[in-house]
A = this chain, B = another copy of it.
Amino acid sequence: MITVGIFGATGYAGYELLRILARHPQATLGFASSETYAGQRYSDVYPCAFDDTLVAPGDAPLDGVDVVFLCTPHAASAPFAVRALEAGCKCVDLSADFRLRDLATYETWYGAHAAPQLLDEAVYGLTEIYRQEVAGARLVANPGCYPTGPLLALYPFLRQGLLTSPRVIIDAKSGVSGAGAKPSPTTHFVAVNENLSAYNVGRKHRHVPEIDQELSRFGGGQDVQVVFVPHLLPVTRGILSSIYVSLDPGWDQEALLDLWGETYADSPFVRVRPAGSLPTLAHVAGTNYCFLGLAPTGIDGDWVIVTALDNLVKGASGQAVQNMNVMCGWDETAGLLP
């Protein structure tokens, strides 16, 4: 049994972590911190059944804590990571602070970095792809919610060099929890309900450089041009991405499905839908699964890939716990089934 701490516990990812950890057989909560709500009971801040008292970040007792989760915003996370590592904790950061390997790229999208010296050491925590590196890591950068599905889907196709056109169109639809808990005109119930809107169209979303970085690594540097169009969906949880690609026409649907199946044979959280069926948000709601499926478009060699995951679980806190499980040498599914 180990002890974990959470910085930034009152956001959606923080709450989801509490929920998952509450049934984790090998981890117990050491502290949950909040800048804003320090001193209050959790259930007085967030309607739920957790009654832990929130501590101020400065009072968080790192002694005796084995793993620290950072649910703090980008830029705020890096200093906590430094502090956690200095205290001898392993650290999983759910912000963007350690996802981009290139400092200049980070600074272009997010501004100054508070701990660039840790960039080389941080491991990108897409568990299924970097399981080995995660196992030996002190600091894991948990992937963004949007990149996780498309990256898992495209990984084997890029590694096999199947792309016949560099263009990869990702038409993504996300639930509102992806926008965070801070109230704004765009997340007001009346603005979202019965609505659908595209935003940050083209290459303006901060997850684009993360997708670029990983696709480039998967493809060994071959040219990939990502078109990323996110949409805000009137649901609380879930991301469904419809991905349009042109692949080597020598590969038929069964061959492509088999390639996914083989790639993820030992990855319990990746599920491949059989031909004729595609993932939906209902398949994954509340779970750590990423579902994959594909269908012919009617144009030879062109496919639509559909990926689905719960942005708060596999897209955030579930994958963070999955990474903790790997870092601690436990069964990857501990606390995460079903």
**Which residues of A does B touch, CB under 8 Å?**
12, 18-19, 22-23, 43-44, 47-50, 167, 169, 171, 173, 175-177, 181, 183-185, 187-198, 201-203, 225-227, 229, 231, 233-238, 240, 242, 244, 271, 277-278, 280-287, 289, 291, 295-299, 302, 304, 306, 337-338
Contact = CB atoms under 8 A, between A and B. Distances in A.
Contact of A184 (B183, B238, B289, B296): B183
Contacts of A190: 12, 176-177, 181, 187, 236
Contact of A299 (B43, B227, B282): B227
Given A49-B289, A234-B189, A202 B295 contact: yes
Nearest to A177: B190
A102 B297 CA distance: 23
Given A238-B194, A296-B202, A338-B23, A229 B48 contact: no
A197 B302 contact: no
B297 A203 contact: yes
Contacts of A226: 298
A12 B198 CA distance: 23
A233 B233 CA distance: 8
A298 to B, nearest CB: 4
A198 B22 contact: no
A236 B194 contact: yes
B189 A188 contact: yes
Contacts of A244: 169, 171, 227, 244
B169 A189 contact: no
A235 B176 contact: no
Given A169-B169, A183-B185, A187-B189, A227 B281 contact: no
A231 B12 CA distance: 24
Contacts of A296: 202
Given A23-B23, A23-B338, A299-B227, A176 B194 contact: no
B238 A283 contact: no
Contacts of A235: 193-196, 234
B297 A202 contact: yes
Given A48-B283, A297-B203, A193 B176 contact: yes
Given A196-B233, A198-B242, A167 B299 contact: yes
B194 A302 contact: no
Contacts of A236: 189-190, 193-194
A278 B194 contact: no
A191 B338 contact: no
B198 A187 contact: no
Contact of A304 (B227, B284, B285, B289): B227
A185 B49 CA distance: 19
Contact of A201 (B47, B48, B181, B278): B278
B197 A281 contact: yes
A12 B229 CA distance: 29
B196 A188 contact: no
Contact of A191 (B278, B282, B304): B282
